[in-house]
Amino acid sequence: MDIVFIKQLQVDTVIGVYDWEKSILQRLLLDLTLTTDNQRAAATDDIGLTLDYAVIAEKVTALITAQPIELIETVAERVAQMLLTDFATSKVEVTVSKPGAVAQALTVGVHIVRSANDIRPPRRSV
């Protein structure tokens, strides 16, 4: 399998658990790694047969900025689920960093790994 990646995707959004965080934009940095098969795309030089970085970046940004989120863990999980559902990938790694969250650290964050087997079906309302 092959890897398509995006490093340090910058997304400014409302993120945080404290009241003061709920009224400001803060920057998140995302590293995305998607497992795929690039052989057909490489053989035909056809972007339609691979993962389009621009489309991925646009969809991830739209997902994260659609509504305020409190936890970066939630961001990572939602991004992973969307990538596995919407793109031809069997495994993703998502790292979400929040620079400045801890004064003594350059950044803090979470890193998750999910596969197509981890996709949870939507909950049905009863």
Residue 41 falls inside a structural domain: yes
Please, which pLDDT band fits residue 98 given cuts at 50, 70 and 90?
A: very high
pLDDT: which is higher, 27 or 122: 27
**What are the start-end ranges of the H helices in the chain?**
39-44, 53-65, 72-86
Determine the Cα–Cα distance for residues 113 and 107; give it in Å rounded to an integer: 20
Give the pLDDT of residue 113: 98
Residue 17 is part of a domain; what is its CATH number? 3.30.1130.10
The partner residues of 10 in beta bridges, in order of sequence, read: 29
Residue 76 falls inside a structural domain: yes
Give the pLDDT of residue 32: 98
Please identify which residue in the block is written with the tokens 């689920």: 81
Domain span including residue 18: 2-118
Q: Is 59 assigned a catalytic role?
A: no
**Mean of all residue pLDDT scores within the chain:** 93
Residue 63 falls inside a structural domain: yes
Determine the Cα–Cα distance for residues 91 and 115; give it in Å rounded to an integer: 4
pLDDT at 86 over 90: yes
What mean pLDDT is predicted for residues 87-116?
A: 95
CA dihedral sign, ordered 60, 62, 65, 69: negative
Q: Give this prediction's pTM.
A: 0.91
Say how many domains are in the chain: 1
Q: Which of 7, 22, 59, 98 is catalytic?
A: 98
Residue 125 falls inside a structural domain: no
